[in-house]
Amino acid sequence: MVRQLRENRSRFFKVKCPDCENEQMVFEKASTTVECVVCGKVLAEPSGGKAQLRAEVLATLE
């Protein structure tokens, strides 16, 4: 039996809300709409695979 070693292919992004400049963590493959916890602006929308980000990415965490 051959076992394939799989590394984590998903990551988290630290994003900044374009309206209120709040910084928040967002999963790369978000399956639901992610809204800013302060002002309610949509930061990421699901698209079947990777989420479409509507905010500025500040950092990537793997």
pLDDT at 26: 96
Prediction pTM value:
0.80
E strand intervals along the chain = 12-16, 23-27, 34-35, 42-45, 52-53, 56-61
Count of domains forming the chain:
1
Residue 44 structural domain: 12-61
| Residue 20 included in any domain | yes
| Residue 47 included in any domain | yes
- Which CATH number do you get for residue 35? 2.20.25.100
| Residue 7 included in any domain | no
| Residue 4 included in any domain | no
Give the Cα separation of 10 and 3 in Å (integer).
Answer: 20
- The pLDDT tens digits for 1-53 are 455 566 677 899 999 999 999 999 999 999 999 999 999 999 999 998 899 99
